[in-house]
Structure 1
């Protein structure tokens, strides 16, 4: 049973087919369609020699050289040649600085070409040229290694299949992004003094950025070089920090922020774990406080986790897209607990059908047909969790600029603490801590704020009941409020218990015997809920006191 919710707010309707939107293509393996983390690496923090010996056990194949464990070469070929990784490439992490430097002197003899290095992580990216020699290297110097893994691909997003909009029931954002975030005033100075790094396809020049755009080349060029398309990265940057420039919208959340574009995708539109890790570290070294990664994949390696830790230590936060596969798991790097993972909702705060869910999900944000820049003054409608992540990145930058005492991590926590509750009451896998409400976050220190809201609906098919969620978005305890729920003409009234500031309460409405719905079938039932504040209490955001929904399969 699906809920189609129509909150009573001003929204843009009638937008055409989404021009720019994005699907994820993660590497798949196994009956369950998932590529496990352990399939792509073997770690050697302890007992390295035993670990290496295990690579050759029971793998079949012949000895390739005296002293090389049976099957070790074939296992290494399999590790670096499976689906969803850079073919023939490995990521090697060393136990010490000395081990790292010693390896560089013997790399050629070890049968590998060094493609790149991250000295701060004691890690190198290699291409294996001779597996026999590489196997001998691992056996002879096993104690020098901390971890060996493949180099998983982080797939660049692709446009989604067109949907039938007449039956969608979800509402596009268009050029109303700020309104959907609860922002009503002037945000032109938000982000000033904050550097947002965009790790993507590159960001093309556009009037939305003016002189605030800079680029850093880590070996893949910058936007426009070699005729490479930078539409995706440009759209991402505009949602985080675009200024409309009088060109049909494209005003972002933090239009005064500086933008650092780091191209991480190749000519095929793909990236990989090493390249993203390298870019994260480069962004931190360049002074970025917010790092946006609107790409991902279903496998990872320890190098990426360590780069994220490097960002944390440098005072930066990494914001990443949850993925667009309608899956019950997040893509990496969003799946890391240290990352601010972001799912997608429409203009009314409804979860988009494509948005991945998972226990690690931190926030949701608008991600459906948002007006965005595409470079050289062009504008597109941008959809996907690729669009949702930069909305959050911009919101973090906005908070940092308006409250300089905050760290980036603290700003991200503010957004989670002052988010609109979505789905079931409290944190849940579909909405995380809720839908970003930047207006509330900016007004969090207003001790007189009063705002009660019908926050959402959650249908429970097992108990045949509907949960209506009411949230207190004010600064005082909400007591004495009343909720009326009209279910296809049957009106029920509930007195609400006291709700603490920021907390949610729920009313459970039985759906059995709903008038006009024969046989207990609730498909098509229309629900209208209205929150009535106590006498004499004036709600500062009355438009969220009423919400309607239609139950559908």
Structure 2
């Protein structure tokens, strides 16, 4: 079935054993060696000298000191885990534990895309469909390609999609499993293009890395290298990154440090909670409670019912639609059970990219938010699926798209109390006293305006969003005296838009109580 582009290696050799008192599956002969900080002049040589003769370097060392080596004998991996104790050049050694794609096979011809509707995506798309300031990273089994070219109608924009490293076979990350293409479509398939489906995010750039082979297996070292590659790419270009990983397995230092690496640099890792029918949350998703930049996603069925396969635990951050999710599939055959081009699959793998696409929309709208703020907004805006504020099965709730996007917006009522005709205050050095005493917020640290409340808006700003409660004592409130515009043309435009909106609202009979607009924390004015 892979004759179109045969790969040198379409699968990892996986063996089973016990590591840290837990049964695990790991890549045969492969060890992850973390070099110690401040090691000697030749730490790689010292590390190899401590390992069996014939050990070769597969990859590295990475920028964080990770080395992947191949042992000469397949059955000696666990026997060499303790080698770190024999040399100061090595911090730790561990097997390359195997992650699995988190998918539950189901009817592949279910022809209805119910997930976006369930989370209110249509309302969110009215506000944002994806901007270039945030990168969607997909670490999975690759993406549909023919002759090294993107070939799917919903995933063929080469200007938007960057092909990263294929850690399984080398070359371009061509999907030989189908899982990666399906995940990419849920997060980022082109929308409003009269073809196929609409992904959660239509416009943000996408970066593809392949770590899962044709069987859905992938090593933790490959995952870690992919996380660092996407993170470094985003940092170098001044982007925020939301990294999707619809896979997982046992815990190890390598996955934990990769998630910490991304989180420390301001990125998010959105990971699947797992499909063990209510078992414990798998890693890396389970790092959600210890690493700020990790979000664990569980799955729901139609009607906001938790999917029977979805794992549970205190690490679940949010849940999203994950059963019978229609999305993109490769244009060529990768499995006799999967159709070409489009089909439906189930799993926390499918719930995770919906949240990834949503988080990228949120960051598109609020580029000033931190990764911790995006995560908090996902939690705070989620729909509770029970009486409690948190539940191990559904976390903080099922994601709600439009509410999540407006998290951080400032809502301002268009009302007038007293003779003050405007709430626009110039943020520049001034000795004017505005409507004192007042509850106006100070929005700019350089102002000398005497006001009585505090704002969280970023300074400098020309928008003063808190109305006065008392009458004016200032000539600024005199409608016959023009307000001097700021020098900055962008800020001047915002002032003009607010003044025009106020003039229009002032002419409507219900303006004093019923009309609203809001100014978000980036200075954008929106009508409600």
CA–CA distance in 1 between the matches of 2:299 and 2:87?
Answer: 45
- Comparing 211-220 with 338-347, greater Cα deviation is found at 211-220
Deviation at 1:251, TM superposition (A): 0.7
Deviation at 1:270, TM superposition (A): 0.8
- Does the 8 Å contact 1:93/1:146 carry over to 2? yes
What does residue 219 of structure 2 align with? 272
User: What is the deviation of 1:104?
Assistant: 3.3
8 Å Cα contact 1:223-1:229 kept in structure 2: no
Question: CA separation in 2, counterparts of 1:253 and 1:343?
Answer: 17
> Aligned pair in 2 of structure 1 residues 317, 342: CA closer, same or farther (>3 Å)?
same
SS in structure 2 opposite 1:150? strand
Q: Secondary structure at the match of 2:306?
A: coil
Aligned partners of 1:236 and 1:386 also within 8 Å: yes
Q: What's 2:58 paired with?
A: 115
SS of match in other structure, 2:373 = helix
Does the CA-based 8 Å contact 1:248-1:379 persist in structure 2? no
CA drift of 1:280 comes to 0.5
Conserved in 2, the CA contact under 8 Å of 1:198 and 1:292?
Answer: yes
Task: Tell me if the contact between 1:197 and 1:291 (Cα under 8 Å) persists in the aligned partners.
Answer: yes
Task: Kindly state the Cα deviation for residue 247 of structure 1 after the two structures are TM-superposed.
Answer: 5.3
Structure 1 unaligned blocks of 5 or more: 1-25, 30-34, 41-81, 166-171, 450-537, 539-553
Q: Which one of the candidate residues 401, 405, 409 is aligned to 2:372? A: 409
How many angstroms does 1:129 deviate by? 2.1
Contact kept? 2:272, 2:297, Cα under 8 Å:
yes
Match of 1:98, SS state, is coil
Superposition map of 1:515-530 within 5 A: none
Q: Tell whether the 8 Å contact from 2:100 to 2:247 is kept in structure 1 after alignment.
A: yes
Correspondence for 1:90 among 31, 34, 40: 31
Q: Which residue of 2 aligns with 1:391?
A: 354
**Cα distance change of structure 1 residues 403 and 109 upon mapping to structure 2, 3 Å threshold:** closer
Is contact 2:211-2:223 (8 Å) kept? yes
Question: Match for 1:149 among 77, 81, 94?
Answer: 94
Among residues 179, 186, 211, which one is paired with 1:232 in the alignment?
Answer: 179
| 1:321 correspondence with 2:272 | yes
Matched position secondary structure for 1:284: helix
Q: Is the 8 A contact 2:102 2:347 kept in 1?
A: no
Q: Structure 2: how far apart are the matches of 1:319 and 1:312?
A: 11
- Of residues 342, 347, 352, the one that matches 2:297 is 342
Distance 1:145 1:238, change over 3 A: same
1:356 aligns with 2:311: yes
Report the secondary structure of 1:401's partner residue. Answer: helix
Matches within 5 A, 1:192-231: 192-193=131-132, 194-204=134-144, 205=150, 206-209=152-155, 210-211=157-158, 212-221=160-169, 228-231=175-178
- Going from structure 1 to structure 2, the CA distance change for 1:422 and 1:222 (only over 3 Å counts) comes to farther
Deviation at 1:155, TM superposition (A): 1.6
The 3 A distance-change label for structure 1 pair 92 and 249 is same
- The 1-side partners of 2:175 and 2:102 are apart by 15
Deviates more, 1:305-314 or 1:203-212: 203-212
Deviations 1:243-270 (A, max 9, x none): 2354554211111111111000124331
Residues 1:208 and 1:93: Cα distance change in structure 2 (over 3 Å): same
Aligned partners of 2:328 and 2:37: how far apart in 1?
45
SS in 2 for 1:84: strand
Cα separation, 2, equivalents of 1:140 and 1:328: 34
Q: Secondary structure at the match of 1:276?
A: helix
Pairs aligned (count):
370
Q: How far did residue 421 of structure 1 move?
A: 0.4
Alignment match, 1:378: 341
TM-score calculated relative to the size of structure 1: 0.60
2:124 is equivalent to residue 183 of structure 1: no
1:460 corresponds to: none
CA distance in 1, matches of 2:269, 2:306: 22
Alpha-carbon distance between aligned partners in 1 of 2:191 and 2:171, rounded to the nearest angstrom: 20
Aligned partners of 1:139 and 1:118: how far apart in 2? Answer: 16
Contact 2:102–2:348, Cα closer than 8 Å, also in 1: no
Q: Report deviation, 1:94.
A: 2.6
How far 1:135 sits from its partner (Å)?
6.2
Deviation at 1:199, TM superposition (A): 0.2
Alignment of 1:449-460 (within 5 A): none
The alignment's TM-score, normalised by the length of structure 2, stands at: 0.63
C-alpha RMSD over aligned residues: 3.5
**TM-fit CA distance, 1:334:** 0.8
CA contact (8 A) 1:253 1:395 kept: yes
Question: What whole-Å deviation, never above 9, does each CA across 1:364-389 have from its counterpart, x for those lacking one?
Answer: 01112222111448221132100111
* Secondary structure in structure 2 of the residue aligned to 1:357: coil
2:68 to 125, 133, 138: 125
**Superposed CA offset, 1:385-411 (max 9, x none):** 001111111111001111121123321
Could you say which residue in structure 2 is the equivalent of 1:514? none
1:174 is aligned to 112
Match of 1:421?
A: 384
**Distance (Å, rounded) in 2 between the aligned partners of 1:261 and 1:84:** 25
